[in-house]
Amino acid sequence: MTIIERLKNKDIDPCIEKIAKQEKTTVEFIVAGLLSGEIVIAKNISRDLKSPRAFGKGLSTKINANIGTSNDHVCLEEELKKVEAAVRLGADAVMDLSTGGELAQIRKDILVNCPVPLGTVPIYQAVKETVDSGKKITDLDFELLFEVIEQQAAEGVDFMTIHFGVNRATTSVLARNKRIAGVVSRGGSFLNKWIEKNNRENPLYEEFDRLLKIAKKYDVTLSLGDGLRPGCLADASDAAQMAELAVLGELVLRSRKADVQVMVEGPGHMPLDQIQPHVIIAKRLIHNAPYYVLGPLVTDVAAGYDHITSAIGGAIAASAGADFLCYVTPAEHIRLPGIEDVKNGVVASRIAAHAADIAKKVPGAREWDDAFSRNRKALDWNKQQEMALDSEHFASERKLMKPQDEHVCTMCGKYCAMKD
């Protein structure tokens, strides 16, 4: 039985207690959120998750690190190092977005090495198998996709991004409303092309109940993908994006009715002044399901620094109610991220999440800053290092330039204002 079904039978999964402690809240609070659907625990029925996590209202903002091979670059060892680094630096979830190499084997190894919830986008595998067999993307057989989804669920994947909302209705809205960047979600773009080419409804949308059955069987949390998310500022909050969100809101209610845990994905690129209004409206449309945003990036022009553009947008989004931030690395828009990119992406995203948690008054968030600042005022460099968001980096930076007086730093030296 799923976590939700058991809860309804008054059987509380042990991970809920662990999570309540983590979140400095009560088991009752988590249970109430799970039953209302405002909180999810992404945990496959077969996974013995070392570090379970809950996502949603009233909880600390979580962050996800995307990793995975591409057809241009395949190195399993590197991907496992990315998982290790991401989790060590504080990622609450990892998504394996591999599209190159032996996907099943890569996923299996990542699953074993990932102590936090693991997500996937199953359409990548189905499309890869289609293309590898010499067919076009638009020849994708959805029976294959359903099989892949069940295969990945059986392997233990905790949550899956599936683009149910890219359907005939929303793609026709898209077609009528001019965009600069078009469709930038890979899954969304496959489906948009498939629908157009085959002149048929998206089977994922049409057969949503079939998906719900698989999700329920393996207790997989559905992450309703925003296939029509804006890929540039000009496309943000347009008719297609809002139409898809409304469809996803309907599917949230159907998932909850089926006792399937569900969250919803959001943008993308968005002007800073739209982010707070967007999150408020989105949370309304999706009936307060956990909202999982990618960025948002507050400018299009800073490729090479999109961990920063998305930290700005992510902090604002999370403080307005987004629950889960997908990191963006400095490599975004340029190349597949390496390990250093993953580290920089995780840190930037954690900064955004923590800044938002302070604003949202999440229990325990501000205490960290106050304790840290007491140590800064006391010029206690060891304790500062210990408590720093990235302790290792703090230490190596401090070593780069030694002050004459070890109590201060080389910025102000003997004129340090903190010194009495």
- Pick 10 or 414: Cβ nearer a copy of itself: 414
- Pick 8 or 413: Cβ nearer a copy of itself: 413
The answer to the question of residue 184 lying near a copy of itself (CB under 8 A) is yes
Spatial separation of the C-alpha atoms in residues 186 and 174, rounded to whole Å: 16
- For the record, the structure tokens of 105 come out as 């084997």
Q: Which residues from 149-168 bind a copy of itself, rule CB under 8 A?
A: none
Q: Which residues from 231-260 bind a copy of itself, rule CB under 8 A?
A: 231-234
Cβ pair 349, 309 in contact under 8 A: no
- From the CB of 246, what's the least distance to a copy of itself, in Å? 22
- Pick 1 or 76: Cβ nearer a copy of itself: 76
Binding residue (CB under 8 A) for a copy of itself from 9, 199, 404, 406: 404
Q: Which residues from 322-341 bind a copy of itself, rule CB under 8 A?
A: 330-338
Binding residue (CB under 8 A) for a copy of itself from 311, 322, 326, 328: 311
- Pick 27 or 303: Cβ nearer a copy of itself: 303
- Pick 164 or 208: Cβ nearer a copy of itself: 164
- Pick 93 or 275: Cβ nearer a copy of itself: 275
Q: How many residues bind a copy of itself (CB under 8 A)?
A: 92
- Pick 10 or 402: Cβ nearer a copy of itself: 402
Binding mask 362-391 for a copy of itself (x = CB under 8 A): ----x-xxx-xxx-xx------x--xxxx-
Sequence-ordered list of residues with C-beta below 8 angstroms from that of 76, at least 6 positions apart, any chain: 69, 101, 105, 106, 109
The answer to the question of residue 301 lying near a copy of itself (CB under 8 A) is yes
Q: Which range binds a copy of itself by CB under 8 A, 34-42, 102-110, 278-286, 406-414? A: 406-414
Binding mask 18-57 for a copy of itself (x = CB under 8 A): ----------------------------------------
- From the CB of 214, what's the least distance to a copy of itself, in Å? 24
Cβ pair 44, 221 in contact under 8 A: no
- Chain centroid to CA 87: 13
- From the CB of 53, what's the least distance to a copy of itself, in Å? 20
Binding mask 262-291 for a copy of itself (x = CB under 8 A): -------x-xxx------------------
Binding residue (CB under 8 A) for a copy of itself from 30, 308, 322, 342: 308
The answer to the question of residue 412 lying near a copy of itself (CB under 8 A) is yes
Binding residue (CB under 8 A) for a copy of itself from 85, 169, 303, 379: 303
Q: Which residues from 54-73 bind a copy of itself, rule CB under 8 A?
A: 70-73
- Pick 11 or 392: Cβ nearer a copy of itself: 392
Binding residue (CB under 8 A) for a copy of itself from 304, 363, 386, 407: 304
The answer to the question of residue 309 lying near a copy of itself (CB under 8 A) is yes
Q: Which residues from 118-137 bind a copy of itself, rule CB under 8 A?
A: 124, 127, 131
Q: Give pairs for 211-216: CB < 8 Å, separation 24+.
A: 211/146, 211/149, 211/162, 211/164, 212/254, 212/255, 212/258, 212/260, 214/146, 214/149, 214/150, 214/153, 215/153, 215/160, 215/255, 215/258, 215/260, 216/2, 216/258, 216/259, 216/260
- Pick 29 or 368: Cβ nearer a copy of itself: 368
- Pick 78 or 207: Cβ nearer a copy of itself: 78
Binding residue (CB under 8 A) for a copy of itself from 189, 223, 241, 255: 189
